[in-house]
Amino acid sequence: MSVAVGSFLIFAASQVGTPGPANMALMATGAAHGLRAALPFVAGVVLGKQLIIWPIGFGLMALATRYPGVFTALKYASAAYICWLAWRVAGMRLGPKVGAPDPPGFVEGLIVHPLNPKAWAMITGGFTAFVTPGTDTLQATITIAICLMIVQIVFHPVWTLGGDLIARSFAGTRQESYLMRTLAALTVASVIFVLFGGGTS
């Protein structure tokens, strides 16, 4: 009775490392503010998933199964929040500017995954597909939590750095506003994909 750690790490990398609402928000924040300024937001996004893992591991899914309307409400709350982040991104301009909005911080990052229904589904899938029935709940939850944190620590800064590197080519150019609007549009598109077609982190 245990957790299939190797297989779960591959699964987690395939989910966390591919485009989705959280990663698009990270990329857009990196583009607007740079990796260094975005690090509190990155840390919040990483730790925010822990707020989902532990309740799921200790049985919150039983409550959600009994009251499915909870997930329906969560789905649309997630869409609204991430679209709000996209709206902020669309109006941002690259590089330091007087009067520019502050980058989203730790607390804003912390609530990205708890409001992301796909994150809930991914973690639930992790428990049901990679944990042997009868495994100690604490052992399983700790293992899933550590594995996901490792994968997020690797991939989330990469997405943020990607946005930072893209920004260096566009800051101060005529294409700057188009870039930010495109990142915002991709963020919204990823939300729509999650709502109606399935998606990733």
Q: Where are the alpha helices (DSSP H) in 17-136?
A: 21-33, 35-48, 50-57, 60-66, 69-91, 106-110, 117-130
pTM: 0.69
Task: Report yes or no: 17 and 187 within 8 Å, Cβ to Cβ.
Answer: no
SS3 at position 31 = helix
- For residue 149, pLDDT over 80 is answered with yes
Q: Residue 176: in which H helix or E strand, if any?
A: helix 176-197
pLDDT tens sequence across 56-71: 888 755 555 576 676 5
Q: Buried b vs exposed e over 69-79: b needs ≥16 C-beta within 10 Å?
A: eeeeebbeebb
pLDDT classification of 11: cutoffs 50, 70, 90: confident
Residue 200 has pLDDT above 80, yes or no: no
**How large is the average pLDDT for residues 140-152?**
93
DSSP string, 115-159: T-HHHHHHHHHHHHHHB-TT--HHHHHHHHHHHHHHHHHHHHHHH
pLDDT at 106: 94
Per-residue model confidence (pLDDT) at position 98: 44
Compute the average pLDDT of residues 160-183.
Answer: 79
DSSP secondary structure code for residue 95 in this structure:
S
pLDDT, tens digit, 9 for 90 and up, residues 77-86: 656 766 776 7
Domain boundaries, the chain: 5-197
Q: Over the stretch 99-128, which tens digit does the pLDDT of each residue have? A: 556 788 999 999 888 877 668 777 877 787
C-alpha to C-alpha distance for 84 and 78, rounded to whole angstroms: 10
Instruction: Please state the rounded mean pLDDT for residues 17-26.
Output: 78
- pLDDT confidence tier of residue 97, bands split at 50, 70 and 90: very low
Distance CA 33, CA 42 (A): 12
**Token pair for 119:** 């994150």
Does 26 have pLDDT greater than 60? yes
